[in-house]
Amino acid sequence: MEADPTAPLVETLRQDLRLKGTHVGCQSARCGSCLIEVDGAATKACTLLTGQAEGAEITTIEGVAKNGALDPLQEAFRQCHALQCGYCTPGMVMAVRELLRTTPAPSDAEIRTALKGNLCRCTGYQNIVKAVRTVISDVSADTAAGPPERSGVGAAIPRVEDERFLTGRGQYCADIDLPGQAHAAFVRSELPHAEIAEIDTRLAAQIPGVIAILTGADVAKDEIGLLRCGWTVYSHTGEPMQGGDRPILAHKQVRFVGEALAVVVAERPEIADRAARAVQARLTPFAHNTIPVEAQAATELHESARDNLCFDWHFGDAFGTEQALASAAHVTRIDLTNNRVIPNALEPRGAIADYRRATGTATLYTTSQNPHMARKTIAETMGFIGEHELHVISPDLGGGFGSKIFIYPEECVCLWASRHLDRPIKWIGTRRESFLSDAHGRDHVSSAALALDEDGHFLALDVDTVANLGAYLSSFAAFVPTYLYGTMLAGPYKTGSIACRVRGVFTNTAPVDAYRGAGRPEATYLIETLIDAAAKELNLDPVALRRRNFIPPETFPYQTPVALEYDVGDYDAHLTRALGMAAYDGFEARKAEAANRGRLRGIGVSCYVEACGIAPSADHRDPWRHR
């Protein structure tokens, strides 16, 4: 075949040869998703130009299975449940093939070392190691995976998608191509807060292959709506939350680094990327702030959100908590920062929109964990299409962890641009864009106080949190640090009274929303840190202090002070089992042995209650009502 010798080999494989099983996750040779074999040696396809592979024998994941049957290694991955989203799986299989060629009987440590260049956000690697062990031993995959599977209700069944993922036949958003499609690339702000004085597109527009360059001014002309948060939270005064609606392209001003202010549409993705870099945005800087506790004294981001305060939410029994703190035998206080995190799914976000002018309908392929909400919200935002006229398809998803539930500007822009230009528009984000523009998580600054009696029983908990919402309200942004956080502050403990105050503030940072647990991890981190501090102050064993305050099994169903009713639980039994598995009683001896070798060894305990989804409590009085 003939190919552009200067093109990255991974793009030649994917675009010219249609071998889509070789994935792109980082563009920097770090994730291992593009691992292939070149002349029998494992090679990351993003590190080679196509010309460097001329005359070489190349094997991709599509060439591993033979005659319609999985290779023994692929079969072991399937039997041992060594894959979930499947995005990293082809690279993992190729990495293990390389290991077994050079080391036919590797140890677990050698297996893990061989996989260091392959990132996986789903499996935790344990089952991947199990799969490799089944190949190098006579042990069957079922035996290596653990005890025999149960039959009937609760039994494991083979996943229908695994064979596709293992053979490179998954279909992720980047793998989809539509006839006549053009490609989009976004121009993003390099300043955290600025007035858009001018967007000069003249140089970029002259690049051959550029079809159009659209800006926020064009969006405004077409009267496209704003993206709005899907939940309304009320301040303790009864006033609804203020500010935070988001344009699909920045207009007049930008509010965080990475905010999209223009989109370039071109015949090929590399042309769109080149042209996006040629667009010159003249920005006039404003004062900016990225620190949540300083937000209320900073330059305001939204006219409707005075002092950058979106809401001041109160929850629980403030009076009872204050009384308990005043009369308690002991009060432990902490100040705690739960730092901002970036979700970083291995598959970058993407969207492909195809608007059909003749029928007024559209199909949108998007990396979404929630296509039904996407259809509703995007149709409402666009204004030119009804929900019944928009078909949203979420193909195979290469990890999400919450960050792909939300509605993002880029998928809206693709749909709008497809209508504007009357052809399909495809956008696949880069790893850099993921860091800049995916919704982030956490970012709380809290003060908390725990009241205890003379026997170490919890009497009351008082929490005051400043929650950074970022520059705009994402889809669930207001709900996460309030009802998904305050309602989990009881944890697995008996606490007589709980009060919580949360101030949601705007800063010049990427929007914050749900990520891996969403509210529950933040609550657990605060409670467990507070309990450890109390145990240290009172010279009590942290495990004993937790046991003393667990909700006893005989008290279920148990009504917590923060709306939710727990149906059942035996927290002491679970902790006992976990301590046994961790050989907790032998820790001091291990710590001393490590000290003799000049090493430090520590151990920690954390207990939590997990709330799955947003199902109602058994408290039929409406646990989500404003209190």
What DSSP element (H or E) covers 378?
A: helix 371-382
First-residue to last-residue Cα distance in the chain: 69
Tokens found for residue 303: 């006219």
Tokens found for residue 208: 């051959």
98-102: Cβ within 8 A, 24+ apart = 98/37, 98/41, 98/42, 99/132, 100/73, 100/132, 100/135, 100/136, 101/40
Q: Are 201 and 213 in contact (CB under 8 A)?
A: yes
Q: Are 45 and 29 in contact (CB under 8 A)?
A: no
Q: What is the pLDDT of residue 170?
A: 97
Give residue for tokens 């005051």.
464
Q: What is the pLDDT of residue 616?
A: 53
Q: Is the dihedral of CA 431, 434, 437, 442 positive or negative?
A: negative
Q: 138 burial class (0-12, 13-18, 19+ CB within 10 angstroms)?
A: exposed
Mean pLDDT of 221-229: 98
Q: pLDDT tens for residues 199-215?
A: 999 999 999 999 999 99
Instruction: Annotate 64-118 with DSSP letters as a single string.
Output: TSBTTB--HHHHHHHHTT--SS-SSHHHHHHHHHHHHHH-SS--HHHHHHHTTTS
CA distance 480 to 441: 10
Residue 232 pLDDT exceeds 50: yes
CA distance 473 to 231: 10
Q: Are 196 and 251 in contact (CB under 8 A)?
A: yes
Mean pLDDT of 280-308: 98
Entry pTM: 0.93
CA distance 146 to 140: 10
Q: Residue 578: which of 552, 556, 608 has the closest Cα?
A: 608
Q: What is the pLDDT of residue 611?
A: 82
CA distance 261 to 434: 16
Pairing mode, strands 390-393 and 361-366? parallel
Q: What is the pLDDT of residue 619?
A: 46
Mean pLDDT of 244-251: 98
Q: pLDDT tens for residues 250-270?
A: 999 999 999 999 999 999 999
Q: What is the pLDDT of residue 138?
A: 59
CA distance 10 to 443: 37
CA distance 130 to 309: 51
- What residues does CATH 3.30.365.10 cover in the chain? 306-343+439-539
- What residues does CATH 1.10.150.120 cover in the chain? 1-146+160-170
The total number of residues written for the chain in this structure = 627
**Residue 27's pLDDT band (cuts 50, 70, 90):** confident
Query: Cβ atoms within 10 A of the Cβ of 373, count?
Result: 17
Collect all residues with Cβ–Cβ distance below 8 Å to 181 and sequence separation of at least 6. 352, 354, 423, 424, 425, 426
CA distance 111 to 136: 11
Q: Residue 414: which of 351, 348, 349, 372 has the closest Cα?
A: 351
Residue 149 pLDDT exceeds 80: no
Residue 128 pLDDT exceeds 60: yes
Rounded to the nearest integer, the mean pLDDT of the chain is: 94
| Helix ranges, 396-519 (H) | 409-421, 431-437
The β-bridge partners of 336 are: 446
Which amino acid appears at position 132 of this protein? V
Q: What is the pLDDT of residue 123?
A: 82
Tabulate helix, strand, coil % of the chain (nearest 5).
30, 20, 45
- Assign 255 to helix, strand or coil: coil
Q: 588 burial class (0-12, 13-18, 19+ CB within 10 angstroms)?
A: exposed
Counting DSSP H helices and E strands in the chain, the numbers are 18, 20
Mean pLDDT of 221-249: 97
Residue 493 pLDDT exceeds 50: yes
**Residue 614's pLDDT band (cuts 50, 70, 90):** low
- The DSSP letter of residue 588 is H
Q: What is the pLDDT of residue 613?
A: 63
- The DSSP letter of residue 43 is E
Which segments of 168-319 are extended strands (E)? 182-188, 194-200, 210-215, 253-254, 260-266, 280-285, 309-316
Tokens found for residue 186: 């976004």
- Output b/e per residue, 498-517; b: 16+ Cβ within 10 A: bbbbbbbbbbbbbbbbbbeb
Q: What is the pLDDT of residue 621?
A: 45
Q: What is the pLDDT of residue 141?
A: 47
Q: pLDDT tens for residues 162-219?
A: 999 999 999 999 999 999 999 999 999 999 999 999 999 999 999 999 999 999 999 9
Query: Cβ atoms within 10 A of the Cβ of 570, count?
Result: 14
CA distance 144 to 81: 11
**Residue 156's pLDDT band (cuts 50, 70, 90):** confident
| Helix ranges, 347-408 (H) | 371-382
Assess if CATH 3.20.20.70 describes domain 306-343+439-539. no
**Residue 240's pLDDT band (cuts 50, 70, 90):** very high
Sheet order of strands, 458-468 included: 309-316, 497-505, 458-468, 441-452, 330-341
Pairing mode, strands 565-566 and 558-559? antiparallel
Which amino acid appears at position 110 of this protein? E
Mean pLDDT of 555-559: 96
The structural architecture, per CATH, of the domain 1-146+160-170 is Orthogonal Bundle (1.10)
Q: What is the pLDDT of residue 385?
A: 98
CA distance 408 to 351: 10
**Residue 620's pLDDT band (cuts 50, 70, 90):** very low
What DSSP element (H or E) covers 320?
A: helix 318-327
Q: pLDDT tens for residues 304-313?
A: 999 999 999 9
Tokens found for residue 92: 């993992």
Q: 161 burial class (0-12, 13-18, 19+ CB within 10 angstroms)?
A: middle
Q: What is the pLDDT of residue 155?
A: 80
What phi and psi, each to the nearest 5 degrees, are found at residue 413?
-60, -40
CA distance 569 to 557: 9
**Residue 618's pLDDT band (cuts 50, 70, 90):** low
Residue 627 pLDDT exceeds 80: no
Q: Is the dihedral of CA 23, 29, 31, 36 positive or negative?
A: positive
